[in-house]
Amino acid sequence: MFANFDVDVIIRSLPYLFYDGMTFTLALTAFASTGGIIFGTLLAMMRLSGFAPLSLLAASYVNLMRSVPLLLVIFWFYFLVPYIGQWVTGAPRPVQVGAFVSSFVTFTLFEAAYFAEIMRAGIQSIPRGQLAAAQALGMTFTLTLTALATIAGLAFGTMLALARLSNVAPLSALAAAYVNLMRSVPLVLMIFWF
C-alpha cells in the first residue's frame, strides 16, 4: 500500500511548514486577536450606548458577522475587495490585496463580533453599585463605561476571551491553507477553461 509513498516530499516541506506556515499562523493569531479585542470592545460600547442608531448598527454588525461562516467572509474579501477597490479608486486593474492582509482584515472583523459579545457580557456583569459609585464620584457615562470596560469587564471576560482565542489559532491555519488554495484557483481555471 505504501510502496510508492515518497517520504522525501514531506522532508522537503518541513522548512516551509514549520517556518513559513507557523509564522503566518502565529502572526495572524496575535494581530487579528488584538485587533478583534480592540474593535470588539468598541462594538460592545456602541451596543451598550443609549444612542439607538449606534446601538442598532453595532447589534446588526455583530449578528451578521456571527451568522456568516468565516470561510465565506475570507472568500468574499479575497475576491470582491480588489474589484471594489478598483471601482472606488478608478484604477484600470483590480487592487492587489495580499494573503496576509486579506486574512488579517477578515479575521479582525470576524473575531470582533465574538469579542464584542464577550466584552458586552463582561460589562453587563458589573454590579450596579459600581456604576452608582462612579456616578457619585462625578464620572461621565463615557468615562465610566471606558473605565469599567477596561478593568471589571476585562476581568470577567478574560476567561471567555481566552476560550475564544483558543479557537483563533486553528482557524488562522485554516485561513492560510484556504488563501493558498484561492491563489491557485485562477491558474486552475485558466488551465481548464482555455
Q: Is 9-193 assigned to CATH 1.10.3720.10?
A: yes
Residue 165 in this model has a pLDDT that exceeds 80: no
pLDDT band at 93 (very low <50, low <70, confident <90, very high): confident
Which grid cell sits at 193? 477553461
User: Using CB atoms within 10 A of its CB, is residue 156 exposed (0-12), middle (13-18) or buried (19+)?
Assistant: middle
pTM (2 decimals)?
Answer: 0.73
Q: Pick the closest to residue 30 from 180, 171, 168, 179 (CA basis).
A: 168
Answer for the pair 164, 111: CB distance below 8 angstroms, yes or no.
yes
Answer for the pair 14, 87: CB distance below 8 angstroms, yes or no.
no
Answer for the pair 29, 169: CB distance below 8 angstroms, yes or no.
yes
Which grid cell sits at 121? 457580557
